[in-house]
Amino acid sequence: MHILTKAAFNQGTSTYVLNFYRHAIATMFLLPIAFAIERKTAPQMSYKLCVKLFVHALYGMSAPFNISCVGLKYASAASASAVINLLPVLTFILALLLGYVLLMITEFLPKASFFFALW
């Protein structure tokens, strides 16, 4: 995916246009499926819920993909793939710093020593 995206950027495609097309195609594909499956079980959406969904989609999907595309435009596809693979690690570190995840060292050390012994 990164190689094709890099090739598109080398041909002059804008990062914002690519982001729009990616989300438009995903919406056209997933919206009919969601309507068919969730038609009878989905609750009514209030205005407040719609705003929350929009904001979460904006900073949860659109902004990171846009930043990734801008980085890919100025770097190689290999470095972009490496950075994308680091996102779960950075998310875990951020969750640790914010206190969403508690790291139990006393439970971790026996398991870690077992895996290091196998290695």
Which mean pLDDT values do the consecutive 10-residue runs of the chain (119 residues) have?
86 89 91 86 86 83 80 84 80 83 65 62
Integer CA distances (angstroms), 14 to 20, 21, 26, 84, in order: 10, 11, 18, 20
Residue 69 contacts residue 22 (beta carbons within 8 Å): no
* Assigned token pair, 11: 């041909």
The per-residue pLDDT for 58 is: 78
Nearest to 5 by CA among 62, 80, 57, 63: 80
Q: For CA atoms 110, 115, 116, 118, give the dihedral sign.
A: positive
pLDDT of residue 117: 64
Amino acid at 4: L
